[in-house]
Amino acid sequence: MILANPLWLLIVLLVPLPWLIARHKGYLGFPNTRRIQASNGWILHVIPVALLAIGFAALSIALARPQKLHVVSKQSFKSRDILIGVDISGSMAGQFGKPPESVVGQTELDKDFPGRPDRPKPGQGTPDQYGYTREIGQRRIDNAQAATLDFIRNRFVAKAGDRIGLFVFDTDQYWHWPLTHDLKMIYRKIHFADEGLGGGTNFGSSPPGPLDAACEHLDDMGRAATRVLIMVTDCEDSLYGGAFDRLSTLAAKYRLKLYVVVVGSSQQQSDITRLAEATGGKGFRADNPTDLKECFNTIDKMEQSTVTVETAENREELFFYFAYAAVGFLLLGTIGEALVLNR
C-alpha cells in the first residue's frame, strides 16, 4: 500500500487526546447508575475518548489517500543500449562503391518511410570541396547509411528490444535522436545523416568527442548493462595529448564498449581502433561495401543483457474504507459522550 498525499498523516499529531482526557468528566445521566460510576466510571469515560481518537486517526489516513499499486504488465527482455555515431566529415564523400542489396529485405520500416524528396537520385554527381565529382549513392557516407539501415532492419525484425540512438559528428557532435525503442524514428533519421557533409574530424583530442557525447548521454538515459557505441568513420584523425588515456578511462567508468567500423581507409591500426580494443570492443576495416555490411553483422552478435521494464501500473483507491471508519468512530464517540457522559 502506498499513500498519494502522505503529508496528511501529520494531522494525527493534532488529535486532541490531551484535551479530551483533561476535560471535566461530568456525571452519568441516570441516578441509578451512580454505583457503576463509582467503580467503573473511568472505563465509561475512556471509551468515547478512544472512539474519537480512532476516528481522527482514520480520517487522517483517508485524507492521505492510501492506494494499492497493481503492475498491469511487467516485461523482462534481453536488451542493449546502442549508440551509432556516423562520421560526416568531408572525406566521407569519397567514392567507395555501390552498396549491396539488403539481406533483410523490405520491412514495415521501409513501407512507413516515404523517402527523401530533396535527395538527388543515385548516379548523379555532386562536386566536393576540392572540385571532384562523387556519385550520389556510391560514397562512403552512402554505404555507411546503407549498412546502418540494414542493421536497424535486422533489429526491427528480430524484435530484440534494443534501444538505439543516433548522432553524427565531424569536429563536433549533432544528435539526431536519443536512445529509444522506436526504431521507426531511428530508421527515418539515418536517411538524413548525410546532411551537412563537410569539415574535419575530431575523435576527442579536443573535448568533447564522439565518445564523450555517448558517455554523457548514457549517464542521463542508459539502462542496459550492455552499452555500445558504434562509430562509422574513415579514420581521418588521431588521438594525442593524453586523449587516449582519458577516453579509455571514461569508457570504463560508463561501462561502454566501442566498436569502430573504418570505411575505405588504408590505415591498418589507428588510434581509434586501438581505443576500441582497450574498451573491450573491436575495430573493423571495410575495404568494400560488402565488408562494411559484414562488420555490422558481427557487431550484432554481441552479448545482450536483461532489462526489466514495468510497462504500466494501476492504482486502486482505498481511502473510502478509512473514511467510512472515521465517520463511524467519530459518530460513536460523539454519541457516547452525549448519552453516557451527558455531554
Q: What is the SS3 string spanning 151-198?
A: HHHHHHHHCCCCEEEEEEECCCEEEEEEEECCHHHHHHHHCCCCCCCC
CATH architecture of the domain 81-303 equals: 3-Layer(aba) Sandwich (3.40)
The answer on pLDDT for 32 being more than 60 is no
The answer on pLDDT for 82 being more than 90 is yes
The answer on pLDDT for 24 being more than 50 is no
Q: What is the maximal distance between C-alpha atoms in the chain? A: 118
Q: How many CB atoms lie within 10 A of CB 168?
A: 28
User: Residues 209-235: what's their mean pLDDT?
Assistant: 93
Task: Say how many CA atoms lie within 13 Å of 161 toward its Cβ.
Answer: 15
The domains of the chain are located at 2-69+314-339, 81-303
Give the per-residue pLDDT at 35: 47
Asked if 302 and 226 touch (Cβ cutoff 8 Å), the reply is: yes
φ, ψ at 316 (rounded to 5°): -95, 120
Q: In this structure, are strands 305-317 and 173-180 parallel, antiparallel, or unpaired?
A: unpaired
Question: Among positive and negative, which fits the CA dihedral 137, 143, 147, 149?
Answer: negative
Helix, coil or strand: residue 130: coil
Least confident of 40-54, 181-195, 197-211: 40-54
Task: Say how many CA atoms lie within 13 Å of 165 toward its Cβ.
Answer: 25
Query: What is the pLDDT confidence band of residue 252, given thresholds at 50, 70 and 90?
Result: very high
Share of the chain above pLDDT 90, in %: 35
User: Residues 149-164: what's their mean pLDDT?
Assistant: 88
| Nearest-angstrom CA–CA distance, 306 and 224 | 7
How is residue 122 written as a grid cell? 543515385
Give the per-residue pLDDT at 260: 94
DSSP 8-state symbol, 216 = H
Model pLDDT for residues 110-153, shown as the tens digit of each residue:
888 887 777 666 555 555 554 445 778 889 999 999 999 999 99
Query: What is the pLDDT confidence band of residue 297, given thresholds at 50, 70 and 90?
Result: confident
DSSP 8-state symbol, 12 = G
Q: How many CB atoms lie within 10 A of CB 258?
A: 28
Give the per-residue pLDDT at 27: 45
Asked if 113 and 256 touch (Cβ cutoff 8 Å), the reply is: no
Model pLDDT for residues 271-295, shown as the tens digit of each residue:
999 999 999 999 998 888 888 888 8
Query: What is the pLDDT confidence band of residue 53, given thresholds at 50, 70 and 90?
Result: confident
The answer on pLDDT for 246 being more than 90 is yes
